[in-house]
Chains A and B, each alone.
Chain A
Amino acid sequence: MNLKGFRRPFPGTQPNYLHPPYVSSVKRAPTKPLVAIPHTLSEITGPMFGVERVDVKAFDLTKQHSGEPLGERILVSGRVLDEDGRTVPHTLVEIWQCNAAGRYQHKVDVHDAPLDPNFTGCGHTLTDSEGRYRFVTIRPGAYPWKNHYNAWRPAHIHFSVFGPAFATRLVTQMYFPGDALIPFDPIFNCTADETARQRLISEFDWKSTIPEQALGFQFDLVLAGREATPWEPPRPGGK
């Protein structure tokens, strides 16, 4: 049973597991080489989530409480695509983020910044038939962390996408254009390839900006593309 797998990343365009400037990677990155395996039926299939698993209101993070959250209202939208530019329809996109003051609604976050009773900071949606998604939220704040002296994370929104297969699963972070903290962030900088890193920065977008209401940011997510030919086992002594 020869199946078409998904393309492997181009060298340098994905992070290595060990990236010492990001201190948490040192005790958690594997130390032995990974074992490369072909994509089998187990990797080219994957979970699919239908409308019954989705709350249609969950795309709007500003309407989850009785009042409006504090901060700058934004509309984040874009498409989920593969490496051939094909859109990925009806796939689950999850996001989470801190509030405008830079504080997560999470017991582990003890940053001395106010919680916002009107902001939880999580949302999800399905892409439409053309791979588009949109979230209404507030612009997250920057916050300090303990990675090194005077370390600050640039403002970011966490994204989780499934795509069509176990092999296409992607979790990433979206950043904002012009953020002065980006060049100093070891997490942003963990990917060697400069062009690849730039794809993590959203674009300010007049077209999706809603007058009197919300600034628009565009962020496309690109998942692994499909191989053109099925995998074949090497033939012993063969050509």
Chain B
Amino acid sequence: MNFRATPSQTVGPFFSIGCDRLNVIDLAGHGVSGQRIEVTGRVIDGDGNGVPDAMLEIWQANSAGKYAHPEDRQDKATETGFQGFGRIPTDANGAFWFATIKPGTVPGPDGRQQAPHIVVSVFMRGLLRRLVTRIYFPDEAENDQDFVLNLVEPARRGTLIAREVSGEDNKLEWNVILQGENETVFFDIGL
């Protein structure tokens, strides 16, 4: 058989009636190991306005660098109580907040470890298909060697790296800028 994938369509303005049920904005419940972090930010459109009807979905490994998924065959343990999935809506100002633990490193395609990162899908009215991006962490030695970061031109890498908020290393800011000079780097991973 030779099918081709169903075309993507926008989530539209009313997705919250179907999607809110699965919202997870705090991924790290009591007892989950690792460094707890909070990430805040905004989704900003081409006019500089916050997007009040966006939804982020995030996916990450646990603090040991293990994904809760059967294709992660590393000899590391998953953790009960940590799935690694979040679904985070924006508020009326386009702002979002989520809490999680900082992920460990996972293997990269070049045989080296990837720097700690969270993969992100962005959905909203106006997007006919999702946008895919990543959140990296500030002051990580591994960022310089990260395979994916090195595919991005140096001047734009900063859009993928969260910033510390007021010197607290567990509070980070990371924004999704849809257009313009500081446009976030989005990845082509197929769909």
Binding site for B on A (CB under 8 A): 1-3, 6-10, 13-17, 19, 22, 24-32, 34-49, 53, 81-85, 94-96, 98, 104-106, 108-109, 120-124, 158, 160, 164-173, 187-188, 190-191, 196-197, 199-200, 220-225, 231, 233
Contacts and interface: CB of A to CB of B under 8 A. Distances in A.
Interface of B: 1-19, 21-22, 45-47, 51, 53, 57, 59-61, 67-69, 71-72, 83-85, 106-111, 114, 117, 119, 121, 123-131, 147-148, 151-152, 156, 178-180, 183-191
Given A36-B188, A167-B190, A200-B9, A122 B128 contact: no
Given A31-B180, A42-B106, A96-B14, A222 B84 contact: no
Ranked nearest first, the 5 interchain pairs of A and B with the lowest CB-CB distance are A96-B18, A85-B1, A24-B126, A28-B126, A47-B85
A222 B127 contact: no
A29 B106 CA distance: 31
A104 B7 contact: no
Nearest to A233: B110
B190 A40 contact: no
A34 B156 CA distance: 12
Contacts of B9: 15, 158, 171-173, 187-188, 190, 200
Nearest to A186: B128
B1 A84 contact: yes
Contacts of B179: 27-31
Contact of A27 (B21, B57, B106, B178): B178
11 contacts: A1-B111, A8-B188, A13-B4, A13-B7, A27-B46, A28-B51, A37-B189, A47-B84, A123-B18, A158-B15, A190-B7
Instruction: Name, among B53, B151, B189, the residue most crowded by chain A CB atoms within 10 Å (CB to CB).
Output: B189
A36 B188 CA distance: 4
Contacts of A233: 109-110
A221 B3 CA distance: 10
Contacts of A120: 17
Given A39-B189, A84-B3, A222-B3, 14 more contacts: A2-B109, A10-B4, A28-B46, A30-B179, A35-B188, A37-B189, A42-B117, A44-B71, A84-B1, A95-B18, A96-B14, A222-B4, A223-B5, A224-B190
Contact of A94 (B6, B18, B127, B189): B18
B17 A48 contact: no
Contacts of A53: 22
A15 B16 CA distance: 23
Given A94-B18, A122-B17, A45 B111 contact: no
Contacts of B191: 9, 14, 167-170, 223-224
Contact of A30 (B6, B71, B85, B131): B131
A231 to B, nearest CB: 6
Contacts of A223: 5-6, 191
Contacts of B84: 47
Contact of B121 (A1, A83, A169, A188): A169
Contacts of A47: 59, 83-85
Instruction: Name, among A38, A42, A48, A170, the residue most crowded by chain B CB atoms within 10 Å (CB to CB).
Output: A42
A45 B130 contact: no
Contacts of B148: 37, 40
Given A35-B185, A199-B6, A28 B45 contact: yes
A9 B5 contact: yes
Given A22-B126, A158-B18, A170 B109 contact: no
B131 to A, nearest CB: 7
Contacts of B22: 49, 53, 94
A219 to B, nearest CB: 9
